[in-house]
Amino acid sequence: MKPRRLGLRREVLILLPMALLVLVVLSLFTLFSFRGALDQLATDRREEAVRLARLVAAQVGVRNLPDGPRLRQLAPGAQSGAIVDASGVPLTQTRDDLRLFPPPGATPGAIGLEDDLPDAVAGFAPLGQGTDLWVRIDLDADLLARQRRALSILTLAVLGIEGAVLVLVLAFLGHLMAPYEALLDRARAVAGEGHGEGDEMHFLVRTFEEALRALAGRDPHGVEDDIAALERTLAPSLQSGLLLLDREGAVLALNAVGAGLLGLDPPPAAGTHLAQALAGQPELCELLAGAVAAGSAPSRAECGVRSGTGDALTVGLTVHPLRRADGGIRGFLILFADLTAARRAAEDSRLAESLSRLGEMAGGIAHELRNSLATLSGYLTLIERRPDEESVADYLAEIRHEADHLQRVLEDFLSFARPGSVRRADVVLDRLLHRAAADPSLAGVAVEVLGDPDGEVHMAGDPQLLERVVRNLLLNAAEAEREAGRSGPVRASVARCDDGVILAIEDRGAGLPSGIRERLFHPFATGRRGGVGLGLALAHRIVVLHGGRIRLDDRPGGGTRAEVVLPRA
């Protein structure tokens, strides 16, 4: 049974406010995400101040307090530093205009980005055991503070503008729909009781067709005059363009709204051929000429036109062949409207969504780079201060590990951003699974490979890209097993199906994280400690390039099942 439509009026009254509400929700989500990012940056800045204070405290003795220049050397990059007592009074300081604050408690802590200290953060660490002296390190946070203040103003401005737009749209809807309702009421009055049910647009078109069929039985010399009279009666109630053509493509009538949209002043006279009437609108003329020649046309189409002022407009139109009682073509009814503003609004919405995703990706990259650079800087500082100690080798090993991590993050991101083209070749998926299962990164976790009972499974695909997908899924599964305290086996299987082939990777880990279940294929979305969040995003990108699909599900009995469906050809 075909579902009954609500009607144009109800659809507009429901869908337009809903679309505006979705836009409001998206903008609020973006603002709150930005606020959360700023709060996280503030927390990271405080933690950095505490870390520096601890480093300085570890190098300073209670009996031999450093002077200001020595303290500045111990905390390079800090805005200021001091050795203070329990009341916050400095015993040694690098600046004379230091604002006084007592330590936040008995343990290391930080303050800042508040009314008393709006543009900096201060970290405190105790100076040894059994003493009431503290090391205080201040870090500059002026840019972060200005961004937080600007965000508050921006939030109020966005909420005010969106509220005003919503009120204006709701107030304008009644005025916008009034002509359409008047036209519909008049058509129902002409059709009589019981004929106005069902889809309203189809009812209006049917009313036009019935009126034209009635006119077709009259004197043929008076038919065009009767159609023009019908156009003069109904056209004033329309806010969209109305064009009537005969079966040869000659203009029978064009209402004032349509003439204004097409820049035709004065409108073409009745009997003017389509090619002459729309000589300045070649795209629209070609579309309508094709409909007249074929005797039918798509019910909906879009094309570009030029207004009377030379502006480029996007017009949406519907072409309806008008038929006589014997089924022959009587003419064509064309309704068209300006969709330029609607298209621009849709593009703005897509741009806002793209910017939101770009901001999320940039934030993920910045987070990984900032953490790694902070670690590298810390170890380099320790090496500079203690170049002769035996622990330098350990510090260098940690620096190498962090550099390898940075390289992997950048390589995964570049692979995601530019996965390249698919170089198709014959791939034996059973052998591909065995190669991926032999990856040294899986050491300590057993992998069980299961093939199809009917023999090796072949497909046309890029062997390197597909192996990258399987390796990423196996690494995730192995890590899930390790975090659950297990050593496998991880099950990797391939089988034929109606849609092509199925690759499945199954583990017995903790299962899918509920908080980010819907975003696991987004870049930098990860539910694993130490994870970057690019493995699944890259795998998804490669699978889509092959025309396939990938999904993650909870495995019965615990764990996760990753399933990849690929076409054979």
What's the mean pLDDT in 21-38?
A: 85
Residue 496 has pLDDT above 50, yes or no: yes
Per-residue H/E/C for 7-48: CHHHHHHHHHHHHHHHHHHHHHHHHHHHHHHHHHHHHHHHHH
Least confident of 217-231, 346-360, 373-387: 217-231
Summarize pLDDT for 174-214 with one digit per residue, the tens. Answer: 676 677 677 777 777 766 655 555 566 677 777 777 766 66
- pLDDT band per the 50, 70, 90 thresholds, residue 504: very high
Which residues have C-beta within 8 Å of that of residue 481, sequence separation ≥ 6?
Answer: 445, 487, 488, 490, 507, 508, 509
Which residues have C-beta within 8 Å of that of residue 117, sequence separation ≥ 6?
Answer: 99, 101, 111
Least confident of 43-57, 98-112, 487-501: 98-112
What's the mean pLDDT in 121-149?
A: 86
Residue 220 has pLDDT above 50, yes or no: no
Q: 240 versus 124: which is more confidently predicted?
A: 124
**Domains parsed from the chain with CATH numbers:** 8-149 (3.30.450), 199-338 (3.30.450.20), 345-417 (1.10.287.130), 425-566 (3.30.565.10)
Residue 276 has pLDDT above 60, yes or no: yes
Tell me the CA distances in angstroms from 6 to 9, 13, 103, 200, 239, one per residue in order: 8, 10, 66, 9, 21
Assign 388 to helix, strand or coil: coil
Residue 47 has pLDDT above 80, yes or no: yes
Q: pTM to 2 decimals?
A: 0.36
Q: Which of 298, 340, 290, 304 is nearest to 318 (CA)?
A: 298
What's the mean pLDDT in 68-80?
A: 85
Cα separation of 12 and 6, whole Å? 10
Q: Which secondary-structure segment (H or E) carries 204?
A: helix 200-216
Tokens of 470: 């399987």
CA angle 368, 370, 376 (to 5 degrees): 100
Which residues have C-beta within 8 Å of that of residue 214, sequence separation ≥ 6?
Answer: none
What's the mean pLDDT in 58-79?
A: 82
φ, ψ of residue 210 in degrees (nearest 5): -65, -40
